[in-house]
Chain A
């Protein structure tokens, strides 16, 4: 496939189309609207389902319905819309039906603004709806990675019958970058045996998140937790740069990770032994690799476009072995490499 110049949101949408998404349900919200707009054109021209819903509450429940039939389905939104979808996420997770949700995060709380932010880390990794579970969360840092992870997201959703988020921020969503799209995958013709396809020659299939007896609901939770344990053990993903001899490692994901990389390279030029660790899965958090780094790394500096959310996971992974510093900007302010560089210098000077 040729490399094309593409906007992040459009690339995410087209990557989903190529991955064989059969239905899209969504509601306009900046900064993800181009994704919905792309789908409004592409899905009908391919004979696939597209509905602009009346709200994010409705769109996630449409996703839930389509997911029950075993088709590849997705929605996309941004922070306030993701808040409205929480109910649906929880039902989807409990019912164990696969779907993909894109969250192009913006500044909050409240209506906030439409500037790039990472303020939804807790919302997607911790509290994606009531109950007791985690969703899988993938965080690309470039348009190409967004394209690649979109295909993975559908595969993971199907493999684990689970809710998978792809989180970007307004910068990644709006940015134009060259990227190569995958070839068009054929749509699946087979439906999984649990899917709602009509009780033709078999007993009825039921998809529900209701379990009235406590022991029976505990059994549902046990099954869900066993699945999450497997995901936690096998699906952690991250990338590293210059960590081998690093005394200080900067930890950042998505856009923050990318900006931090520029700052880390600058610090290297100035002779500091600094590396970069960029989580790709936010849940499961790549704790195995990060905690291994604490063997030789003397401190970690977490950089986020929020007031400090992932830093809690980093501290858990570091297990109190080494200090964990934090540098963040909020409200949609995107840090420039220079200020991260200054934070690196400050943390580096504290090393023994």
Chain B
């Protein structure tokens, strides 16, 4: 005689409610998708999905508003922080975030991001640094590394011709209105988990009305770097991380307890 064995299946992984149930257009191996996922997980955990408004950039994430299951707007190239400011000022009880690439944030939109921070604008920015202009087919970005080959820096980025890659987290950390500024990477599971914690801190800073928060995420673009997804992850670690060190660059006093509570 055998007794029936009940096998209980436990859900260990599912789509966050804040992520729409649609396929994205991101290339295989692109870490934009991971960035979306951890932002969505944080929105779920904070229980703010239904009062969140996301502002998408111009860049590969231009359709991010379709992928987040929240209200969303699509800004002009680089203007997401201005648009988010307009939204937040009339909807102060809502959670407002921008999601921007490095061309969007560090080139054409550098004035808007810096001034959002100088005003201590109570919004959160997810800054995806993939050292290239992905959407337009791989031109040099302000974050492109010296020697990095792109379609508009043939032979590799030359510092005599184009100067130096901009370190946005460091720049933004120097601004008094910034409450929380961090740089993280998406090149392995440990870093992804660390990145998610930083994103949570950033949103908590906003929820507590502490001012501007930004998490820079080192991200891959295998398509335009012209490498495999695995090589792309390795390149982030070997080449990007040394120039763009990971860590917290600004943690306002009032933000510190939020990090502990988590």
Which A residues are within 8 Å of any B CB, using their own CB?
Answer: 22-23, 25, 49, 51, 53-55, 57-59, 61-69, 71, 73, 87-88, 91, 196-201, 204-210
List residues of chain A with CB within 8 A of the CB of B105.
none
Task: Give the complex CA separation of A73 and B91 in angstroms.
Answer: 13
Task: Give which listed residue, A66, A199, A200, contacts B87 with CB less than 8 A.
Answer: A66
Interface stretch, picked from B71-79, B171-179, B204-212, B250-258, is B71-79
Compute how far the CA of A71 lies from the CA of B88 in the bound complex, rounded to whole angstroms. Answer: 12
Q: Please, which residues of chain B bring their CB within 8 A of the CB of A210?
A: 62-63, 74
Can you show 8 pairs from A to B with CB atoms below 8 A apart?
A: A51-B89, A61-B83, A66-B89, A68-B73, A196-B72, A196-B87, A196-B91, A207-B74
> B49: CB under 8 A from chain A?
yes
B89 near A198 (CB under 8 angstroms)?
no
Smallest CB–CB gap between A68 and chain B, Å? 5
Q: Which residues of A contact B115 (CB under 8 A)?
A: 53-54, 58
Residues of B bordering A, CB below 8 Å:
20, 49-53, 55-56, 62-63, 65-66, 68-76, 79, 82-91, 94, 111-112, 114-115, 119
Could you tell me if B73 and A49 are in contact, using CB atoms closer than 8 angstroms?
A: no
The listed residue (A51, A55, A201, A209) touching B50 by CB distance below 8 A is A201
Taking a contact as CB atoms under 8 Å apart, the answer to whether A208 and B65 are in contact is yes
**B111 engages A196 (CB within 8 Å):** no
The answer to whether A196 and B79 have CB atoms under 8 Å apart is: no
Contacts of B56 in A (CB 8 A): 208
Q: Which single member of A51, A67, A197, A200 contacts B85 (CB below 8 Å)? A: A51
Contact between A198 and B76, CB atoms less than 8 A apart: no
When the two chains form their complex, are residues A61 and B89 in contact, meaning their CB atoms are under 8 A apart?
no
- Measured between C-beta atoms, what is the minimum distance from B175 to chain A in Å? 13
* Distance to closest chain B CB from A212 (angstroms): 9
Task: Give Cα A196–Cα B84 distance, bound, in whole angstroms.
Answer: 12
Interface centre among B56, B66, B90 (most CB of A within 10 A): B90
User: Residue B86 contacts which of A54, A61, A197 (CB distance < 8 angstroms)?
Assistant: A61
Given A53-B115, A62-B85: A199 and B73 interface contact (C-beta under 8 Å): no
CB-based contact B86/A66 at 8 Å = yes
- Residues of A near B74 (CB, < 8 A) are 206-210
The interface centre, meaning the residue of A49, A64, A204 with most chain B CB atoms within 10 A of its CB, is A204
Residues of A within 8 A of B73 (CB): 65, 68, 196, 206-208
Minimum C-beta distance from B124 to chain A (A)? 15
Closest to A99 in B: B86
Give the complex CA separation of A198 and B51 in angstroms. 4
Whole-angstrom distance between the Cβ of A32 and the nearest chain B Cβ: 20
A65 and B85 form a contact (CB under 8 A) = yes
Nearest opposing residue in chain B for A212, CB measure = B63
In whole angstroms, what is the CA distance A201 to B90 when docked? Answer: 21
Q: Say whether B49 contacts A65, CB under 8 Å.
A: no
Query: Is the beta-carbon distance between B72 and A206 smaller than 8 angstroms?
Result: yes
Complex: A64 Cα to B49 Cα, angstroms: 22
- Measured between beta carbons, the chain A residues less than 8 angstroms from B76 are 61, 64, 87-88, 91
Once the chains bind, are B69 and A204 in contact (CB under 8 Å)? yes
User: Across the interface, do B69 and A57 meet the contact criterion of CB distance under 8 Å?
Assistant: no
